């Protein structure tokens, strides 16, 4: 099949926006976002100065996975690298570079994420009050699938199952319950699952400036897929007890998700495996079409710890700490070597494909 990733940059001016998409974060972390909207309902999503471990590769991950998902798996909004000139000056906490994509729902529709849904419609099988949102965490969806709504709405559950399988493939370290949503009409009636969005926390694209840390988290991804048991004391280095228990659960839960979907949604599993085979064949036969293309107009330096400055300044409102972090973590960081990154990404994706097939294919 003909396939091509597009790493050209769209250039917008903040003052020329047609409006702002007001998005109130409903979840563990409260907040409001006002994303600029341009002609043809294209929404600018900026990289955020306080988002953990954010580098320009977060934007490349959005372009890569939106293109792959839309081209091989399911219909999804396609992202492009973008500038929004003047936005950083206006907002402070956002960069004026990021991505742009079409709106994920139409006029007269709105999104309702899983956290909002289960708060509005409690279910004994989903302990939503115990849910917390951590980046660099994998999430267990078995209780969600067991809820009354998804048991009664098979077609919607199958859409969710496909999205969970795709999230494992892309190594999403932040595929939490606030990232998955229903599309609803003005009356609140659920029309179906919203398309797959938010691909930035893809493991393959993280820590391009810290190779040892990257390898650690890729191993955590493979370990969760394979379901290798947690050994006593393995996560004792995490002093916060709640976080430690979450990490112990995260360490194996992707395996549980895969086994559950294989057992309860065999048609979805077969459909995914066929599409996965097409994707794998394309990777083998023409891997260059999946390479990230360095765009010299777009930032190409990575500083995975630079977010500490933004966190102190814009989330903690501690200017003294921000200045200390600027001394410790400031600077533009390390130039991204796209040749090395491309080889690494393709190699790791192929390993995860093998891991997933080893579990999903019934022998």
This prediction has a pTM of 0.94
206-243 pLDDT, tens digit each: 999 999 999 999 999 999 999 999 998 888 888 888 88
- Per-residue b/e over 52-79, b at no fewer than 16 CB within 10 Å? bbbbbbbbbbbbbbbbbbbbbbbebbbb
Cα separation, 190 vs 8, in Å, equals 36
* Phi and psi at residue 246, to the nearest 5°: -65, -40
- Point out the residues of the chain with pLDDT beneath 50: 24-31
Instruction: Output DSSP code: residue 287.
Output: G
Q: Is residue 86 part of a domain?
A: yes
255, HSE (Cβ side, Cα atoms, 13 Å): 17
Cα separation, 191 vs 186, in Å, equals 11
Give the gyration radius of the chain's Cα atoms.
Answer: 20
Q: Is residue 317 part of a domain?
A: no
Into how many domains does the chain fold?
1
Range of the domain at 180: 9-300+336-360
Query: Which residue, chain included where needed, has tokens 């965490």?
Result: 137
Q: What's the pLDDT at 29?
A: 47
Q: Is residue 316 part of a domain?
A: no
Cα separation, 243 vs 237, in Å, equals 11
Q: Which long-range contacts link 118-121 to residues 24+ away (Cβ below 8 Å)?
A: 118/147, 118/177, 121/149
Q: Is residue 326 part of a domain?
A: no
Q: Is residue 1 part of a domain?
A: no
Q: Is residue 273 part of a domain?
A: yes
Q: Is residue 323 part of a domain?
A: no
Q: Is residue 328 part of a domain?
A: no
Cα separation, 116 vs 28, in Å, equals 11
DSSP 39-72: GGGEEEEEEETTSTT--HHHHHHHHHHHHHIIII
The answer for 207, left when phi > 0, alpha when psi is -120 to 50, beta otherwise, is left
Cα separation, 269 vs 317, in Å, equals 47
Instruction: Output DSSP code: residue 316.
Output: S
């Amino acid at each position: 099949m003909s396939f091509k990733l597009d790493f050209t940059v769209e250039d917008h001016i903040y003052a020329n926006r047609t409006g702002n998409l007001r998005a109130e974060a409903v979840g563990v972390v409260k907040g409001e976002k006002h994303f600029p909207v341009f002609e043809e309902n294209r929404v600018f999503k900026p990289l955020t100065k306080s988002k953990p471990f954010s580098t320009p590769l977060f934007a490349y991950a959005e372009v890569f996975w939106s293109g792959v998902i839309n081209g091989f798996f399911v219909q999804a909004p396609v992202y492009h690298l973008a500038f929004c000139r003047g936005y950083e000056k206006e907002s402070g906490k956002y960069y004026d570079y990021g991505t742009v994509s079409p709106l994920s729902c139409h006029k007269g529709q709105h999104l309702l994420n899983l956290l909002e849904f289960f708060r509005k419609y409690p279910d004994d099988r989903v302990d939503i009050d115990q849910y917390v949102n951590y980046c660099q965490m994998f999430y267990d969806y078995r209780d969600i699938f067991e809820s009354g709504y998804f048991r009664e709405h098979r077609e919607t559950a199958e859409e969710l199952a496909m999205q969970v399988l795709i999230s494992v493939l892309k190594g999403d370290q932040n595929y939490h319950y606030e990232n998955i949503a229903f599309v609803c009409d003005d009356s609140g009636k659920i029309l179906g699952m919203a398309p797959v969005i938010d691909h930035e926390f893809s493991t393959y694209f993280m820590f391009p400036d810290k190779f040892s840390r990257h390898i650690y988290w890729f191993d955590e991804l493979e370990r969760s897929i394979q379901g290798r048991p947690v050994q006593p004391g393995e996560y004792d280095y995490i002093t916060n007890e709640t976080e430690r228990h979450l990490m112990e659960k995260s360490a194996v839960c992707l395996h549980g998700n895969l086994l559950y979907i294989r057992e309860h949604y065999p048609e979805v599993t077969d459909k995914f495996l066929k599409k996965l085979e097409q994707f794998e064949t394309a990777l083998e036969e023409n891997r260059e079409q999946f390479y990230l293309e360095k765009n010299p107009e777009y930032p190409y330096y990575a500083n995975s710890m630079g977010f500490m400055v933004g966190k102190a300044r814009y989330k903690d409102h501690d200017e003294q700490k921000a200045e200390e972090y600027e001394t410790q973590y400031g600077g533009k960081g390390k130039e991204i070597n796209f040749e090395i990154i491309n080889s690494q990404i393709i190699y790791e994706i192929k390993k995860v494909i093998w891991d997933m097939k080893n579990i999903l294919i019934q022998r």
